[in-house]
Amino acid sequence: MNADDVRRSAWAMPLTSPSYPRGPYRFVNREFLIVSYRTDPQALAAVVPEPLVPAGDVVRFEFIRMPDSTGFGDYTESGQVVPVTFEGRQGVYVHSMFLDDDAPIAGGREIWGFPKKLGSPKLRVDKDTLLGTLDYGQSRIAAGTMGYKHRAADHDAVLRSLGQPNWLLKIMPDVDCSPRVCELVEYRLEDVVLKGAWEGPAALQLFEHALAPVAALPVRQVLGGLHLNTDLTLGLGRVVHDYLGR
């Protein structure tokens, strides 16, 4: 394989058998359990990178089932997103993510900069309750519950929320472990079909863990739960800020 062959073939790691195909990436029947809660404002400020600004003291803990996603397959994901503002625009910053499938871990980190780590999240219906759990190794680090489909949510408000920009901190090291890439990336969810949206009473427990510190944003007050069923496309991102000043 000569240098021209490498340039033509190079897309993702490894060269001759990339961990994921090129996008776009479409998700069918993507199901969310989102528990919103108030946290410690100082703890929140300590993890949101400038030039993003926390929009209050709210965090959203998400459990997401993705049974049909092009290129990535069938997997489940969980993590924390933070409502923020950037240059006067409202959106969310993705703070932590844990999932159970190699392809979206590799693709999410390498393409967009999603803060993905290997975990064992689950989302299922337990009798009259929607139950989300997240384990890191053998340790339970999060458990969320919501009354199953207690009342319809505002369809238009949910669509507006899903249409907001999302921001990520993309970090990739150089061969000497100095930062080669350190960028703020913006992406959006596209072609969203909202098949159902429900609200209900919710609860959330977070547990301390040295390597999966979801409890570093502690639960002070649970604000409510949201249950969604969607089809959507994960849009590719754009760099909106370079921390290395290039």
So which residues are the catalytic ones? 116
Sheet of strand 139-147, all strands in order from the earlier edge strand to the far edge: 120-126, 129-136, 139-147, 202-206
Contact at 8 Å (CB) between 73 and 28? no
Helix ranges (H only) for 114-182 are 155-162
Contact at 8 Å (CB) between 72 and 144? no
Return the closest-CA partner of residue 244 out of 187, 172, 190.
172
**Token pair for residue 196?**
């159902």
Residue 74 burial (C-beta neighbours within 10 Å; 0-12, 13-18, 19+): exposed
SS3 28: strand
Determine the Cα–Cα distance for residues 53 and 93; give it in Å rounded to an integer.
Answer: 9
